[in-house]
Amino acid sequence: SIELRSMKSKDYIKTRPKSRFARFCRIKYQQLIHPKMERAFFGHLHLRNQISAGEFPETSLLCSGFLEMAKTVWLLHC
C-alpha cells in the first residue's frame, strides 16, 4: 500500500498486473460500469474487453479516472 500511495494507479497496475489492487480494479469496473453505459459512451465494448483481459489502456480518460477513484477507495479500506 505504501508503494501504491506514491504511484499513479495506472503505473502501479502496469508494473503489477496480477496484484490484488489490479484484480480489485478489474472486478469493480465490471460491477460499476454497466455495458450499456460503456456502449453509450463509446459505441462499443472494447474498453471492457481490454480490462477483462487485464489491460488498462492509458489513453482512456474514463479508465484513468476510474483507476484513481479505485485507488482512493482501496487505500481507505486496506
**What confidence score (pLDDT) does residue 78 get?**
78
**How many distinct structural domains can be found in the chain?**
1
Question: Domain range for residue 23?
Answer: 2-77
pTM: 0.88
Alpha-carbon gap, residue 43 to 57, rounded angstroms:
17
Q: Above 80 in pLDDT, residue 1? A: no
**What confidence score (pLDDT) does residue 49 get?**
94
**What confidence score (pLDDT) does residue 5 get?**
94
Question: Distances in Å between the alpha carbon of 10 and those of 24, 36, 44, 65?
Answer: 13, 24, 22, 10
Contact between residue 23 and residue 16 where contact means Cβ atoms under 8 Å apart = no
> What region does 70 belong to: left with phi over 0, alpha with psi -120 to 50, or beta?
alpha
**What confidence score (pLDDT) does residue 71 get?**
97
pLDDT tens profile 17-72: 999 999 999 999 999 999 999 999 899 999 999 999 989 888 788 889 999 999 99
